[in-house]
Structure 1
Amino acid sequence: MQYIQVTFSFTLIEEYQQDLLISELAEIGFNTFEDTENGFSAFIDLDSYSKENLTEALLQFEGDFEYTYTVTEIAAENWNEEWEKNFEPLIIDETCYVRATFHQSQPSYKYEIVIDPKMAFGTGHHQTTTMMMQYILESDAAGKHILDMGCGTGILAILAAKKGAAELVAIDNDEVCYLSAKENSALNDIHNITALCGGKETIPTHAYDIILANINRNILLDQIPVYAKVLKSGGEIFFSGFYESPDLQMIQDACKQLGMNYINHKKIGDWVAARFIKA
């Protein structure tokens, strides 16, 4: 598969401004982001890329900050080579160690996860993934039936499986992510994750104890009614992929209408993750 890499360079930009730009790019299909010395690179598969959509998204930031960008077409294997040069192992709450296949194992950590991203989102380095992993570490997943929406690499489902979840369904509408979730499950010797390719229509009509959804605000708002239908009474749902203002209140309002009550939220930078429980 071919990909488009858009590399942004900034003279001066606030962190929240960069996060807003990344959020807008995610809205139009960019699904992987990598920090660079002077900015960041964003990746999207060639079939999903639209020059017109990119131009329209950037118009929203006209006058806010100065930037330049380049657009490059790359092959997946070239991106993975570049990723390997820059990926560093990650430690979450001194409990979970996330590494690539080419890193040394660290069995002293309670949970070790091996990730080969293959252009899929979710190595734990992004703030949203980190906060979702923190929530999973704090939760009781043992014996639970869990749904992971927008699963990316499958990292969240894999961590929940390592914490003793009984059965997991991991769904992503990107075929690369779907295949990545399957491969990473195998890398971690996890055999109770069912990976599916699709959107909300793909969700099996089971009753879930926990739902994980790290996507973006608009998709979450569209899919929340479906989550409410398949989440057990007393079940937990964890959201991320959005900002504290105005997004969190919008998520809270949508959940409240469907009997899912806000409990608390985490924040790293401008990104937020939130916990809800169904009445």
Structure 2
Amino acid sequence: MEYKKVAFSFIDIEEYQQDLLIAALGDIGFDTFEDTKTGFDAFIIANQFNETQLVDVLNGFEGELEYTYTVSSIAAQNWNEEWEKNFSPLVINEDCYVRATFHEHQPQYQYEIVIDPKMAFGTGHHQTTTMMMLYILETAIKDKVILDMGAGTGILGILAAKRGAAEIVAIDNDEVCYRSAIENAALNEITNLTSLCGSKETIPAQDFDIILANINRNILLDQIESYAAVLKPNGNIFFSGFYETPDLEMIKAHCLQFNLNYVDHKKIGDWVAAKFVKLN
């Protein structure tokens, strides 16, 4: 199958900006991305490429990014084989092993998670996912009802299920992510994870013991009120997808309006994950 490659080069781009741009490109059909020294390459099936749509997406970042791009045609190749070359297993906290279907089983780890990303966010390799998994590993999860917002591949909910969660509701507004979470739950023989496609309006009218939200600062600020409405008193909520400065203080201040008290945070590189508890 022939592909088009759009090679982006940036004068300066923050990691969160690249993540947002990649998500927007995914919405118009781009399904593979590779980092380069000056930016990244984005790939799309040739007959799905529409440069007008591409320009519309880029116009949404006007004033934020300085970039150039070139478009070229790519001959057919084995994309699964290329992906396998670049996806390596991951060990988190010495007791959680994340692998793809083509990696060998490693029984020495307490928790083994099999993930087939299919361009959905969340293999554990990104710092934000890693920090959220560390929080799950150190939190009492057994018999808890959990809401996972921006679920991506479903990796956080799958780990929670393996640690004994009673029920997980995983929500993502991307159709690929929604389907990916269903497929990955089945790969891991998880039967108590429900995947829903949507945003804050899709949150079920029920109470949750724990909420996981690995998205980005602006979406979190918009949705925190909705999370607080369904979080039980003394329940924990974990956020990630933002920076320490100025994002963390903005999120702390916003959470106080909804009785969510800051507990602590983790930091890897420029990224932060934070724990809050709902006061009585």
**Same fold at TM > 0.5:** yes
Structure 1 position 21 matched with structure 2 position 25: no
Structure 1 position 54 matched with structure 2 position 58: yes
Aligned pairs (5 A) from 1:1-279 = 6-9=6-9, 17-25=13-21, 28=24, 34-36=34-36, 39-41=39-41, 50-57=54-61, 59-62=63-66, 68-71=68-71, 80-279=80-279
State the Cα distance separating 1:187 from its structure 2 match: 0.2
Percentage of matched positions with identical amino acids:
65
Equivalents in 1 of 2:73, 2:262: separation in Å? 43
Equivalents in 1 of 2:60, 2:38: separation in Å? 23
Scaled by the length of structure 2, the TM-score of the pair is 0.85
**Structure 1 residues not aligned, in runs of 5+:** none
Moved more, 37-46 or 94-103: 37-46
Is contact 2:25-2:54 (8 Å) kept? no
Is contact 1:7-1:42 (8 Å) kept? yes
Distance 1:82 1:27, change over 3 A: closer
Equivalents in 1 of 2:107, 2:181: separation in Å? 22
**Aligned AA (1:168):** I
Distance 1:18 1:232, change over 3 A: same
Moved more, 103-112 or 80-89: 80-89
Moved more, 83-92 or 231-240: 83-92
Is contact 2:7-2:70 (8 Å) kept? yes
State the Cα distance separating 1:18 from its structure 2 match: 3.9
Distance 1:127 1:4, change over 3 A: farther
SS at match of 2:195: strand
Equivalents in 1 of 2:3, 2:93: separation in Å? 34
SS at match of 2:61: helix
Distance 1:106 1:194, change over 3 A: same
Equivalents in 1 of 2:233, 2:267: separation in Å? 27
State the Cα distance separating 1:238 from its structure 2 match: 0.4
Greater Rg over alpha carbons, structure: 2
Equivalents in 2 of 1:71, 1:139: separation in Å? 47
Q: CA RMSD for the aligned pairs?
A: 2.9
SS at match of 2:275: strand
Equivalents in 2 of 1:196, 1:4: separation in Å? 31
State the Cα distance separating 1:168 from its structure 2 match: 0.6
Query: Across the two proteins, how many residue pairs are aligned to each other?
Result: 268
Equivalents in 1 of 2:214, 2:200: separation in Å? 14
Is contact 1:30-1:43 (8 Å) kept? no
| C-alpha distance after superposition, 1:208-242 (max 9, x if no partner) | 00000001111111111000000000000000111
**Aligned AA (2:166):** A
**Structure 2 residues not aligned, in runs of 5+:** none
Moved more, 46-55 or 257-266: 46-55
Is contact 1:132-1:240 (8 Å) kept? yes
State the Cα distance separating 1:254 from its structure 2 match: 1.0
